[in-house]
Structure 1
């Protein structure tokens, strides 16, 4: 066992600042709280009770629904996302830049709003097939984005060599391009899987039961803590299995190259007679993913007879969402600073472990995080139950990785020598942070805060369980009206959420089109 002083030193021999280390450790404990609670609750329940609650027909039904929906959606998203990315980057598709924006645009529409759009116009859109269609239309951009970015950065020399050897387009794609897309494709599929395990609103509206909807029903209908927690334990296990499977499938192959590769654009396949069918297929995909939900919103905004929402109601909900989003964004960024600072400025295994621990909250469904905090609040800290503080804590746990990644990237670009100069001039660590470091990393802080803010504004499951009595947000009001089939009244809230989500989606398309080849 290494002595304590050596454990408190970074990789370069510099000692960890105790205050920053303690702050980062507290943030890590907060992030791991739901996971630790589920594990501890499962152990304390005992094997006999756990076996009774887990090994029953209802659990098997939920597992089967979750597995077949996840498997089908991942397969369809992989095909649609990869195919669309290849058409944009490797074919003579007319209007490639416009198609790129349209293929990313579905991310601006939350899945539960997409589901609302379909169900309000087509009440028969339910069950497995309806759920598979709608979640696929909502999540295929999560595969498209990383694949199109990877295709844009590939060296075209390997593809040219394959063509020179007489290989056709299909064989070149399968044997040359697809292996290089493996990390991006698996990463996108992992994101789709985790989103599906966490999805509640869309599947509840489609009447397709999964673990997330069952946990919510158990909690809301009978406050059955043991049953809900055991279902949450199975859901957490599914998340961990997905993470391990993605790492194993990715393998240890190296995909990086030395140098920038060829500066010339890749050879584009001439579509010729396939141009019209390809345009029709992409047009149908965009119509299903965008035109139906947007058209539904417009229809109910114009003709909805149940729309008894006043401007004051809408402004109250929007104000609550904006206020919670702003507070959660500031808190999350503040919590991310000590973790990112320790990881960048004092690298070593303790800093790495603390930084990695903050990602577990992002891998857990919001319903699991909320359930853990509800149970802790009821039994350990009753004064915190149904308070804004507990809701903000849930937001911080869920969206901390979004802030950590951006703050870490900004700190990596801020020269540490400026800190040393400030210290040599007599500034304390706090004064150096305030007067030197924070102004340098302000863009990263802003980006992280913006991502957290958008996520909080459209968050549903944790808000439904943890929001204080009387608190009305855009998401909860939308859910209240849509759940009672008041589609016209739900439409204004959905429209405002889409408008607030649009800037983040625009930034994604703008950032990626900067590097689009002509």
Structure 2
């Protein structure tokens, strides 16, 4: 045969196949329409922008010497803060499981009276921002609260010094448990609604009592749901700032905020890195639980009661009724009382609530919602059209800011605006950016981008590609097909994402406190200022407004609740 024979080269064929498969994994699935290069570039740019706060924090940390970092990490303050944070997370998580699981069981698997009502009420504490709950409890049981006033009014003021304090670990854990247990309740309830009840019936035919059958049959299968909810509680507890700050319990978020205001930026930086490390561990655990799709569900699930409570029906009702009392009726009642009550709570000149504060909140939230949707659109389109590793990496990167505690995000952007820009561009630009509305809006975008991406991506995934293809065959350009076909189909997802971002931004506390422009007072900054001054009556109206606004975000969940 001649030297230039056309026989195939096995080595070259294998190599080409490997590179081809690798290219398909990185850039898209075989046989699928590849996303436009411009779309990929835009999505990657959004991902880069979202990741930038981590870069600024790392840049500031790199300026710490090894010796200084070790000294700060081994200091009594750092050790105490780490211990306090871990203890709080452990207590709140355990208490939320102890409260959320029984509530899920009695509202799904028993003939509890008014099950649907109790289901809705058990989920509603998510409406109340935890710092509003903390404010309500402090204004009721704190040194200047309702209870000491009543005791003094009836001549029992001498009892006040002997009352247990609402501050510290106990009060913080109580408030966070009351307003975060719905995460466990909802995930456990979802698992119970998917449970194959024929397995329980089989266990009962083997003379297993319900408690024994629950322990041996039900619990192993709902454990992933319980664990997922518990990890969400742990993540929220670790990142919450308002409740520990109001309850005066030193955890990562409170001490970082204090150090930032006291110009202790080195210590704040190190504590932020430690907080991110603990957060990463919780996220890794949550990811493993979410990836575990194994289950024993076989037959279609039933939401019909499987346990009769008999004569204990009304006794068991005390559980959801008592929880609703302390999570809904009590805080709303306290806020309403402060609203209508006259007295010292309304004194203090210059602290009156103004409608402009609400307008400022709505303005910033509307800007954040609009910009977030614009950022989310290329990411959702790219992730919805491609299953490549790059597409998944871009989508996952948008969740970094959502997982990052708001106080850490605010700190990172302070470093960017006040230090990096000063060195890289100049003092004039740094002053224009620092504590400006665009920087605050950017922080909101980083924080809440996943909400818009998730809603929009679901709409993108539901588009029939044949419709877009038909538009192209009829002569439409790619941009024309997007404008006339894709955009109208995904507009419900875009609007839903924008609404969710708007509502969440309205009640965002720590990021707003750190980055809001000077003189730009919002509802949350006003509440924070007057509660620190002890003028509880002044905070009642804006607090109730926030509860009402937060309630709107629960409408989709409650509309989808099915207790048939």
Shorter-chain TM range is over 0.9
For residues 2-81 of structure 1, what are the structure 2 equivalents within 5 Å?
9-13=27-31, 14-81=33-100
Q: CA deviation at 1:275?
A: 2.3
- The answer as to 2:375 corresponding to 1:375 is no
Provide the C-alpha distance between the structure 2 equivalents of 1:120 and 1:311, rounded to a whole number of angstroms. Answer: 17
Number of the residue aligned with 2:103: 84
Provide the C-alpha distance between the structure 2 equivalents of 1:455 and 1:250, rounded to a whole number of angstroms. Answer: 24
Q: CA deviation at 1:2?
A: 5.2
Number of the residue aligned with 2:193: 152
Indicate how the Cα distance of structure 1 residues 7 and 148 shifts in structure 2: closer, same or farther if over 3 A, else same: closer
* Uncovered stretches (5+) of structure 1, i.e. residues with no partner: none
Equivalent residue for 2:267, pick from 222, 227, 235: 227
Q: CA deviation at 1:234?
A: 0.4
Q: CA deviation at 1:385?
A: 1.0
For each residue in 1:356-391, what CA deviation from the matched residue of structure 2 results, as whole angstroms up to 9, or x when unmatched?
A: 111111111000111101110112331311111110
Q: CA deviation at 1:34?
A: 2.3
Indicate how the Cα distance of structure 1 residues 251 and 387 shifts in structure 2: closer, same or farther if over 3 A, else same: closer
Contact 2:113/2:314 (8 A) holds in 1? no
Indicate how the Cα distance of structure 1 residues 256 and 47 shifts in structure 2: closer, same or farther if over 3 A, else same: farther
Provide the C-alpha distance between the structure 1 equivalents of 2:558 and 2:380, rounded to a whole number of angstroms. Answer: 27
Number of the residue aligned with 1:172: 213
Q: CA deviation at 1:264?
A: 5.0
Q: CA deviation at 1:493?
A: 1.0
Number of the residue aligned with 2:444: 395
Query: Secondary structure, in 3 states, of the residue corresponding to 2:281?
Result: helix
For residues 24-423 of structure 1, what are the structure 2 equivalents within 5 Å?
24-123=43-142, 124-220=165-261, 222-248=262-288, 252=292, 254-255=294-295, 261-262=299-300, 264-305=302-343, 306-307=345-346, 313-381=353-421, 382=430, 383-423=432-472
Q: CA deviation at 1:298?
A: 0.7
For each residue in 1:426-478, what CA deviation from the matched residue of structure 2 results, as whole angstroms up to 9, or x when unmatched?
A: 32222222221111111111211111111100001000110111111111101
C-alpha RMSD over aligned residues:
2.1
Contact 1:81/1:141 (8 A) holds in 2? yes
Contact 1:156/1:266 (8 A) holds in 2? no
Equivalent residue for 1:434, pick from 483, 489, 494: 483
Q: CA deviation at 1:243?
A: 1.5
Query: TM-score normalized by structure 1?
Result: 0.94
Query: Secondary structure, in 3 states, of the residue corresponding to 1:45?
Result: coil
For each residue in 1:181-236, what CA deviation from the matched residue of structure 2 results, as whole angstroms up to 9, or x when unmatched?
A: 1222122112111111121111111111100000000011x222211111100000
Provide the C-alpha distance between the structure 2 equivalents of 1:426 and 1:64, rounded to a whole number of angstroms. Answer: 65
For each residue in 1:265-302, what CA deviation from the matched residue of structure 2 results, as whole angstroms up to 9, or x when unmatched?
A: 44521112322331223222111111221111011000
Quick check: which has more Rg, 1 or 2?
2
Indicate how the Cα distance of structure 1 residues 8 and 270 shifts in structure 2: closer, same or farther if over 3 A, else same: closer
* Uncovered stretches (5+) of structure 2, i.e. residues with no partner: 1-17, 143-164, 422-429
Provide the C-alpha distance between the structure 2 equivalents of 1:207 and 1:130, rounded to a whole number of angstroms. Answer: 9
For each residue in 1:392-439, what CA deviation from the matched residue of structure 2 results, as whole angstroms up to 9, or x when unmatched?
A: 111011111111111111111111221212222232222222221111
Provide the C-alpha distance between the structure 2 equivalents of 1:363 and 1:403, rounded to a whole number of angstroms. Answer: 15
